[in-house]
Amino acid sequence: MHSQSVSEITLAYIGGGSLNWAQVLMADLVHDRTVAGEIRLFDLNLEAAQRNAAIGNRLSEAHGLSIRYTASETIASALTGVDFVVVSILPGSFDDMAKDLELPEAEGIIQAVGDTVGPGGLVRAMRAIPAMAEIAEAIRKYAPKAYVCNLTNPMSVLTGALYAAFPDIRAWGECHEVTKLRHIIAWLANRAEGAIRYGFRDVQVNVLGINHFTWVDRAFVGGRDWLPDYLNFAAENRENGWRAKPLDPNDEFQRYFEDINRVKFDLASRFGIAAAAGDRHLAEFLPASWYLNRASEWGFGLTPVDWRRRDQAKRREDARLAETGNEVPPLRTVSEEALVGQIRALTRGETLVVNANMPNIGQMQGFAPGTVVETNVLFSGHGVRPIHAGRLPAAVEALVKPHAERQNTVLQAVLAGDGATLEGLFLSDPLVAPLGQDRAAKLFRAMVAATAARLPEKLRRLSA
Amino acid sequence: MHSQSVSEITLAYIGGGSLNWAQVLMADLVHDRTVAGEIRLFDLNLEAAQRNAAIGNRLSEAHGLSIRYTASETIASALTGVDFVVVSILPGSFDDMAKDLELPEAEGIIQAVGDTVGPGGLVRAMRAIPAMAEIAEAIRKYAPKAYVCNLTNPMSVLTGALYAAFPDIRAWGECHEVTKLRHIIAWLANRAEGAIRYGFRDVQVNVLGINHFTWVDRAFVGGRDWLPDYLNFAAENRENGWRAKPLDPNDEFQRYFEDINRVKFDLASRFGIAAAAGDRHLAEFLPASWYLNRASEWGFGLTPVDWRRRDQAKRREDARLAETGNEVPPLRTVSEEALVGQIRALTRGETLVVNANMPNIGQMQGFAPGTVVETNVLFSGHGVRPIHAGRLPAAVEALVKPHAERQNTVLQAVLAGDGATLEGLFLSDPLVAPLGQDRAAKLFRAMVAATAARLPEKLRRLSA
Amino acid sequence: MHSQSVSEITLAYIGGGSLNWAQVLMADLVHDRTVAGEIRLFDLNLEAAQRNAAIGNRLSEAHGLSIRYTASETIASALTGVDFVVVSILPGSFDDMAKDLELPEAEGIIQAVGDTVGPGGLVRAMRAIPAMAEIAEAIRKYAPKAYVCNLTNPMSVLTGALYAAFPDIRAWGECHEVTKLRHIIAWLANRAEGAIRYGFRDVQVNVLGINHFTWVDRAFVGGRDWLPDYLNFAAENRENGWRAKPLDPNDEFQRYFEDINRVKFDLASRFGIAAAAGDRHLAEFLPASWYLNRASEWGFGLTPVDWRRRDQAKRREDARLAETGNEVPPLRTVSEEALVGQIRALTRGETLVVNANMPNIGQMQGFAPGTVVETNVLFSGHGVRPIHAGRLPAAVEALVKPHAERQNTVLQAVLAGDGATLEGLFLSDPLVAPLGQDRAAKLFRAMVAATAARLPEKLRRLSA
Amino acid sequence: MHSQSVSEITLAYIGGGSLNWAQVLMADLVHDRTVAGEIRLFDLNLEAAQRNAAIGNRLSEAHGLSIRYTASETIASALTGVDFVVVSILPGSFDDMAKDLELPEAEGIIQAVGDTVGPGGLVRAMRAIPAMAEIAEAIRKYAPKAYVCNLTNPMSVLTGALYAAFPDIRAWGECHEVTKLRHIIAWLANRAEGAIRYGFRDVQVNVLGINHFTWVDRAFVGGRDWLPDYLNFAAENRENGWRAKPLDPNDEFQRYFEDINRVKFDLASRFGIAAAAGDRHLAEFLPASWYLNRASEWGFGLTPVDWRRRDQAKRREDARLAETGNEVPPLRTVSEEALVGQIRALTRGETLVVNANMPNIGQMQGFAPGTVVETNVLFSGHGVRPIHAGRLPAAVEALVKPHAERQNTVLQAVLAGDGATLEGLFLSDPLVAPLGQDRAAKLFRAMVAATAARLPEKLRRLSA
């Protein structure tokens, strides 16, 4: 209908001083060209928000968009009356994140990422949930009808925190990990066609699971389901792994973030269904004896915090140049993120089916109501509505569900300031359990002590 | 992708001697042009199926389609290995249907249609559920992976019967009543634009309820929600009703099937949400004192069985001509039915969101799991998947849910051959209850006796 | 163990100026002799509480009990730290109650009691729910661990209001209607034995339903189930009714409160299960055409408010004498109420199984969680715990469940101050529905206007 | 009422050649003296049943009971028309049980009992579930109204198997492990009284959990709750353990079956609630690093199969003497089992509250419906009815629930003959997971091969 026209919106970006996500959004809006209006950047670091606003406005002008970027001094002024909210915050500093990895490592516990499950994920959740609940309260007050896209990890518990604090919030958690599998399926279909006919967006996958531990039981493209082909392909490449383009051993990013799909292929071969996230995420949900304790053998990287620090410094320098340089900042290529497409669907009534994290209201059988699950969701003129995804195979459900239930419990315990329950959960965390209950209890207290300054009063007392 | 190409399918049409629905499908396939393959017509009246096959093949050839129509002598041969099944049967004869109306009428109970709820709906369900369960058993045996579209009323209990007999069936119940509201919304949006910019298919409605008692809480078109406009329009026209085109008093069909939306407008004004089906259907779910006892005052028709008999005779003559005439049968205009679009979506991976009747697996809050509800459903390469619709307002849920629960119970009781429970339900049926328990019990036994030949042994004994 | 000894408790009686219930409790405590401690009477009418305290202390001393009765000036001082709370209040005055009956009667709607369902029950709920929620808030603040026995009607919604306002409350709703059926069963068993061997307390009945609309599917006494015998007895006496002792036509109380079990017997004969409450209560839940419109024919009384007024005056005079007379007030015989037995079980660890009203947490299948249902409950050293009761037969569930769901919705709407929903519910109330939607809406507004002074601000505005 | 009288019953004992349980029942019936009638012993080993019948009849006569023991040649003749069924079978031989322990042990996996969870429990379930389902089918056919007491391990899945095969069965699983905690509580209360006033039956415990992994959150005796005292006692004795009577180091039985409560005390101290089963059972549900890998340090025994073999031989010899000796077999003292009390309650209407294993129908919050849970149950004239137990603390639920869900899945997979799912479950079994996925898969196949002769065809093929 109005597909050539432009939609006027207001959007508040919480964490708008971000050196990555905010700039991805700016570029995607340039490529899309259907959105106009105001984007308010709010960040605890006001200067970073101002810098991003300046960059955004330069891009906006240079490319002829009617989008105005502003930096908000308070969350209230950022949120008041907006149509959309994006939440992309960093729970704690890189120093906190380093402790999340190093203290467990000293006890022999290896984590590939440490931001979702395991000891690192739990402590990060303790830091982030209270902040997220405050943001939800502010949204309830200043923009109760806004659509809210959460980009922050640990995704499941933080999306859950938004709903716990404001049950009527229109929020979803957005993550791109599943695109990795969609790329492989498109590659398989193109190989069969002998031509590049399909991109990853053409692959309709039915997603089941929880964030970073997602599974796909149907992958439809070109008139048929490619899951059986994928399972065969996984079995063939289980021993040696495979990537569309070989890893570049000199590329540090690849070394720490990429994989050769061996974990995915091993899981697919054993369980008859496709695991859909990156290998380094998947490995953290499974017994350490399976993959985590032999990461290099399985071909996936462990992400060091040191790299994150160096990367951030580099990005900061790039941003400084983009803000102040004589030339218009270079335009990134369009990303694979779904956010701009979601805004279009909600604003213009387009019909977009894509995976997102939302509280279970029936979309995933076998999981308790309210558990934040990742399945397909319909974005359209009706808002954001989960689509029924079915049920995981029983042996896979036995892998996924205990993690989901733990996340539910962590969320409730952090909100209740119930440190005793958190300690109990920590002791039996699958990555922690091999330590024995005494060493585990000591590790928990050490980790809490290390990040105490970031914790609410009640949870801080634990470390005594 | 392949949008110009043609998809090869096989489809079994149970009730394929139909004088209406089968021919609608034939015409829609001509207009669509993307489907090829074999359509097998099965009917207890083999000649009618053969006649329809002949008509279909004439149309197919004349319009250059690669669709081949055949008449199957057994349901087994019709179903074996098909991709799609359509079920469109007549539960009992028009004489049975006449008794469903006349016996209650003799007790002062008026029914506008008598095929969904009330005494007529209940007895019709007793006839039809066993037949439907047999069809589901055959599908389990001969085409367990087929997509199954049920077009038969009473829609809710019969779609439920399919799932009761074969829980893994991929079935949905298809009904076009909601299009009536979508037309009104499109009319309102066009009026505001001062031009005809939207058709009913452009109107995205969020549907909640049960078949023939459906409600819409959001109606998005042209970038915004039109429900508030509709509620205002309903309040303005509540006294006198309204139709886009005035009723033609000489048109018998209109007299018996159409309405002036007064029931819809009265309900919208009282409950703050749009009722979405035809007035004559809606009225049957509400206290007789509200609309049914004063149908002409409220401007909707009561459908006489006599008209159905005459109409059938006329259609039969038309079909005879279409089969045997010298000229190719005339091509009907494209219908408003969703079936061909559904086939396209399932076959080609198009994304279609449309209302359909399916067992509740969470798509409608507040209703028990397994209750057949009508909400939006996603048809795509993933199959048929309910979309979360939310919840009815509390006062409306109090109107709808007891009917839904009765339907659940009727279904279970018929399958169990439990006549005592059916009698108990009949006594307290809202249209029957004013009779008092004794007269109600007599009426039930008379109605069962009148249709005993069509009932399974166990239910027949009741009439003693 | 300690069965000879005495347990020290504190108990707050909210509504402690009561002219009936409080005095029943006083007498039962004398008969029981195992309870000592303090009973604090709180009433909006402080004098009435003081009068009851004086009576109680006279009884206590005369019979050598170590129970001290006091009148509390505030609810806070009554509740602080008590072990038990009894709530027995009168929602509104007898004038309000008279309007609840008379306004519907003017429209032809007959109610036998008018305090549970129907138009009177709904308006009474609007008055009482906010008061009950306030009491629960006070209990949360001053006696969060207390056991709370609610004696106030409408029992289901008011017990629900306690839980809605304080979800961790240890409350149940107490009603003696089911004893009526237990007496009949004991009579049957004694008749068979040819001797009086069983009292009503020896009859173990399995109770299912909601308050005043309860059913019994098993009645065990003397080593076997007597339900089949009861069903036969009901069938034999369905035409003429039956009572153990004939009604005394000169006894006004009997005329207004008693029945000849004809409703119970008719229901038992039709549905194959025993209805368990008094006929005048049962009748209000069923279509008016069944019993209510012909109460005298069915042999049950309609309770006039005028009688309640006269009875209250008489009781007030009796109480005055009991407080001030020279002689110790006469000791009533032990009642059939369960309260003192419940206190014993909770205090001393005795094991008592008796029916009570509590939110459904699984004890009654087929009803939504949280619905206040009446089933057996275990009182013991573990507190108050529902016992699994099973499920009503389908045709009976269809009678009971819509009332239960309405009650849930009324409760939520009153708490939310949502008058529009209450009006919607009123329109479709089964006793109201025959009026038609317009007359029903007028009646609702008239009833709300008549009691507006007792309603919270938000609900009062309705009547405009 | 009839408490002096005798109740006539018929009871079928499946596994009636048992050398232990059957004889416990015989003795308890002598002590009780209220039961008369016929007890039919059925066993695959007919001679053993005949031997037990002879012993039973000698006891019966010697003690003046009117109980007649018979040996049935078929399960049909044993079951036809009985009031009660007891199921106490041995799934596989001691050689099978030895393999269940030895094969995992060769991989470093220690099991204390190996009959409930872990690799041994899973393989034992594969053997036993099909047998149990057959027994339930026979009960459906020959004694559908009988009360059925299952005494066989693994209790949870086997009780589940009875319900899966015959959903209307009136069955419960009976286990005495919880009495261990009740004895400790009675000891504490007696210590405080300075006299032996309470036995374990006086202690009312509220039980939550699954069989062999049960917890108690309230322990009422003598007018108050002793849980806080127990928690203090546990903290005091956590380091060194405690028993009412010290272990006799020369008693082999004690060495293999008894414990010093250190596991119970450690769990109580960490989680603030009492674990209620024997330490050797509890340990198997927890990470091996906690207790199982250091059993002797924690003071509990590992039960060797060799001991069971020797014990069985001894019992067989005792039984031979009891059958054929000149003197009447000696009467055992009354046991702590609940079975005879349950029979009394069901037959005579006594009110017995005791823990039992039944499918969750709401009695335990937080666990899926149908999961077999262990909570208190009411035995009375109404039959067997679960009592609402509440919910486990969150950190404990995280320990218990994954085991419960695994048991649900094992049951479904064995019934479906789905070996792939069983292998998947085995890989991630908490005791197995440390092996890594490849060694785990090999172990599974070896264990299946070792017991293949006892498995249904479909599950046997796995071992290829």
| Tens-digit pLDDT profile for residues A399-430 | 999 999 999 999 999 999 999 999 999 999 99
| Confidence at A246, pLDDT banded by 50, 70, 90 | confident
Distance CA D280, CA D120 (A): 14
| Confidence at D303, pLDDT banded by 50, 70, 90 | confident
Model confidence at C4: pLDDT above 80? no
Task: Say if residues B407 and B211 touch (Cβ distance below 8 Å).
Answer: no
Model-level pTM?
0.95
Tokens of B312: 């059938």
In chain A, which residue's Cα lies nearest the Cα of B199? A1
| Tens-digit pLDDT profile for residues C31-58 | 999 999 999 999 999 999 999 999 999 9
Q: Which residues of C are catalytic?
A: 176
Distance CA B227, CA C75 (A): 48
Give the pLDDT of residue B125: 97
Is B259 domain-assigned? yes
The residue annotated as part of the active site, out of A176, A281, A388, A403, is A176
Nearest chain C Cα distance for residue B276, angstroms: 18
Is D233 domain-assigned? yes
Q: What is the mean pLDDT of chain B?
A: 95
Model confidence at C410: pLDDT above 70? yes
Interchain CB contacts (distance < 8 Å): B and C: 106
| Tens-digit pLDDT profile for residues C350-401 | 999 999 999 999 999 999 999 999 999 999 999 999 999 999 999 999 999 9
Is D25 domain-assigned? no
Q: Are chains A and C in contact at 3+ CB pairs closer than 8 Å?
A: no
With CB atoms and an 8 Å threshold, state whether C1 touches D202: yes
Give the pLDDT of residue D325: 85
* Least confident among A99-103, B285-289, B320-324, D183-187: B320-324
Give the pLDDT of residue B217: 98
HSE-up of B174 (CA within 13 Å, CB side)? 23
Q: What is the mean pLDDT of chain C?
A: 95
| Tens-digit pLDDT profile for residues A293-351 | 999 999 998 988 888 889 889 999 988 888 888 888 889 999 999 999 999 999 999 99
Give the pLDDT of residue D463: 55
With CB atoms and an 8 Å threshold, state whether D221 touches C351: no
* Least confident among A76-90, B430-444, C431-445, D20-34: D20-34
Model confidence at C2: pLDDT above 50? no
Model confidence at C342: pLDDT above 60? yes
Give me the residue label for tokens 């589940």: D160
E-assigned strand segments in A322-424: 352-359, 372-380, 383-386
Nearest chain B Cα distance for residue A371, angstroms: 14
Taking Cα atoms as reference points, which of A399, A154, A111 lies closest to residue A280? A111
Average pLDDT over residues A203-223: 97
| Confidence at C463, pLDDT banded by 50, 70, 90 | low
Tokens of D79: 């079951």
| Confidence at D462, pLDDT banded by 50, 70, 90 | low
Distance CA D452, CA D169 (A): 30
Counted domains in chain C: 1
Task: Say if residues A345 and A352 touch (Cβ distance below 8 Å).
Answer: yes
Give the pLDDT of residue A3: 44
Percentage of chain C surpassing pLDDT 70?
98
Is A24 domain-assigned? no
| Tens-digit pLDDT profile for residues C215-250 | 999 999 999 999 999 999 999 999 999 999 988 888
Average pLDDT over residues D106-135: 96
Model confidence at B462: pLDDT above 90? no
Distance CA D352, CA D349 (A): 9
Mapping DSSP to helix (H, G, I), strand (E, B) and coil, where does residue C362 land? coil
Q: Which of C394, C397, C409 has its CB closest to that of B394?
A: C409
Give me the residue label for tokens 């209940």: B122
Distance CA B306, CA C425 (A): 38
Percentage of chain D surpassing pLDDT 70?
98
Those chains having 3 or more beta-carbon pairs within 8 angstroms of chain B are A, C
Give the pLDDT of residue B1: 37
| Tens-digit pLDDT profile for residues D129-159 | 999 999 999 999 999 999 999 999 999 999 9
More confidently predicted of D460 and A232: A232
| Tens-digit pLDDT profile for residues D261-299 | 999 999 999 999 999 999 999 999 999 999 999 999 999
With CB atoms and an 8 Å threshold, state whether B289 touches C406: no
Task: Say if residues C152 and C88 touch (Cβ distance below 8 Å).
Answer: yes
The residue annotated as part of the active site, out of B2, B63, B176, B388, is B176
Model confidence at A464: pLDDT above 70? no
Is D38 domain-assigned? no
| Tens-digit pLDDT profile for residues B136-156 | 999 999 999 999 999 999 999
Alpha-carbon distances, residue B374 vs A63, A378, B158, B339 (angstroms): 46, 17, 13, 16
Parallel, antiparallel or unpaired: strands B383-386 and C7-14: unpaired
Nearest chain D Cα distance for residue A64, angstroms: 55
Sheet holding D352-359, edge to edge: D67-72, D35-42, D7-14, D84-87, D147-150, D170-173, D352-359, D372-380, D383-386
Q: Which of C287, C397, C421 has its CB closest to that of B394?
A: C421
Q: What is the ipTM of this complex?
A: 0.94
The residue annotated as part of the active site, out of D2, D31, D63, D176, is D176
Average pLDDT over residues A210-238: 97
φ and ψ at residue D189, rounded to 5 degrees: -65, -40
Nearest chain B Cα distance for residue A204, angstroms: 7
| Tens-digit pLDDT profile for residues D59-99 | 999 999 999 999 999 999 999 999 999 999 988 888 999 99
Model confidence at C298: pLDDT above 90? yes
**Which amino acid is located at B49 in the chain?**
A
Model confidence at B4: pLDDT above 80? no
Give the pLDDT of residue D115: 93
| Tens-digit pLDDT profile for residues B103-123 | 999 999 999 999 999 999 999
Which of chain D's residues have a Cβ under 8 Å away from the Cβ of A430?
433
Positive or negative torsion for Cα A348, A350, A356, A361: positive
Taking Cα atoms as reference points, which of C462, C47, C121 lies closest to residue C284? C121
Percentage of chain A surpassing pLDDT 70?
98
Distance CA B432, CA B100 (A): 13
Average pLDDT over residues D33-54: 96
Give the pLDDT of residue A146: 98
Average pLDDT over residues D200-216: 97
Average pLDDT over residues A368-391: 97
Model confidence at B379: pLDDT above 70? yes
Give the pLDDT of residue C462: 67
Identify from B109, B294, B367, B405 which residue to disrupt to test chain C contact, counting C C-beta atoms within 10 A and taking the largest count.
B405
Percentage of chain C surpassing pLDDT 90?
86
Distance CA D150, CA D361 (A): 19
b (16+ CB within 10 A) / e for B3-17: eeebbebbbbbbbbb
Q: Which of B206, B222, B382 has its CB closest to that of A1?
A: B222
Model confidence at C303: pLDDT above 90? no
Query: Which stretch of DSSP H or E encloses residue C190?
Result: helix C179-193
Model confidence at B433: pLDDT above 80? yes
Annotated binding site of B for Mn(2+): 175, 212
Q: Give the contacts of D253 (CB within 8 A, at least 6 positions apart).
A: D307, D311
Give the pLDDT of residue D168: 97
CA dihedral B112, B114, B119, B124 (to 10 degrees): 180
Average pLDDT over residues B415-443: 97
Residue A244: domain span = 179-303
Identify from B437, B439, B442 which residue to disrupt to test chain C contact, counting C C-beta atoms within 10 A and taking the largest count.
B437
Identify from A117, A292, A396, A428 which residue to disrupt to test chain D contact, counting D C-beta atoms within 10 A and taking the largest count.
A428
| Tens-digit pLDDT profile for residues B59-112 | 999 999 999 999 999 999 999 999 999 999 988 888 999 999 999 999 999 999
Q: Which of B398, B425, B436 has its CB closest to that of C289?
A: B436
Give the pLDDT of residue D120: 97
What is the distance between the terminal CA atoms of chain C, rounded to a whole angstrom? 63
Model confidence at C338: pLDDT above 50? yes
Distance CA C142, CA C81 (A): 6
Sheet holding C67-72, edge to edge: C67-72, C35-42, C7-14, C84-87, C147-150, C170-173, C352-359, C372-380, C383-386
E-assigned strand segments in C228-351: 274-275
Distance CA C442, CA C460 (A): 15
A176 belongs to the catalytic site: yes
Task: Tell me the sheet residues that pair with C245.
Answer: none
Tokens of B133: 């369960």
Tokens of A420: 């005793």
Give the pLDDT of residue A255: 87
